[in-house]
């Protein structure tokens, strides 16, 4: 069994998601919002987030893999599911579980910009800059975490540990 240390408690996550939902609601009043979650990691965070956004919106997902079964990014993106809802003329909000190296979200933003949305913003549960390779700034951030391999609340290690209600530092993942 993997050893883990609590980093973000369930109550803190719920409170911060509520705050982010309120900010997004205020920022997108009167606009046509398309919320796109980046699978698999963002699905839990996004489910909670969209319930806190008090606006009509559309929801879709893209599946992008950059980690495989390891604990560090391969640097190569593999799109296995694309967005099905047209994004031209809409405001696009990308929802990510964690921004680490920045490679995934930067590449997704670049590819989606070619689909002519009115705007593209990023909402990340966790912004973790210790391994950042590309300068990328999220527009909405739940938590900034300095270091450690994180799991829970959608974040995984080798497709395990996503189901926890809280975020943990996985102590022995190497």
Contact 130, 147 (CB under 8 A): yes
In this prediction, residue 174 carries a pLDDT of 54
- CB count within 10 Å of CB 164 equals 17
Contact 63, 70 (CB under 8 A): no
Which listed residue (48, 91, 97, 100) is catalytic?
100
Quick: pLDDT tens for 126-147.
999 888 888 899 999 999 998 8
Quick: pLDDT tens for 41-52.
999 999 999 999
Contact 64, 38 (CB under 8 A): yes
97 is catalytic: no
- CB count within 10 Å of CB 102 equals 19
In this prediction, residue 131 carries a pLDDT of 80
Contact 122, 96 (CB under 8 A): yes
Question: Is pLDDT at 87 greater than 70 in this prediction?
Answer: yes
State the pTM of this model. Answer: 0.90
- Which whole-number Å values give the CA distances from 87 to 32, 51, 58, 111, 167, in the listed order? 10, 21, 10, 12, 32
Please name each of the domains of the chain with its CATH number.
Answer: 16-148 (3.40.50.2020)
């Amino acid at each position: 069994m993997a050893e883990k240390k609590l980093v973000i408690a369930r109550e803190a996550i719920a409170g911060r998601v509520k705050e982010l939902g309120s900010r997004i609601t205020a920022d997108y009043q009167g606009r046509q919002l398309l919320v796109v979650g980046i699978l698999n990691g963002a699905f839990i965070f996004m489910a909670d987030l969209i319930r806190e956004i008090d606006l009509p919106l559309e929801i879709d997902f893209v599946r992008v893999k950059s980690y495989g079964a390891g604990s560090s990014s391969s640097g190569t993106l593999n799109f296995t599911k694309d967005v099905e809802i047209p994004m031209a003329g809409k405001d696009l909000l990308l929802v990510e579980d964690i921004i680490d190296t920045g490679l995934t979200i930067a590449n997704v933003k670049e590819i989606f910009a070619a689909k002519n949305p009115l705007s593209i913003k990023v909402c990340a549960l966790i912004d973790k800059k210790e391994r950042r390779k590309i300068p990328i700034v999220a527009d909405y951030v739940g938590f900034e975490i300095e270091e450690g391999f994180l799991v829970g609340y959608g974040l995984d290690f080798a497709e395990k540990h996503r189901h926890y209600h809280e975020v943990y530092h996985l102590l022995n993942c190497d």
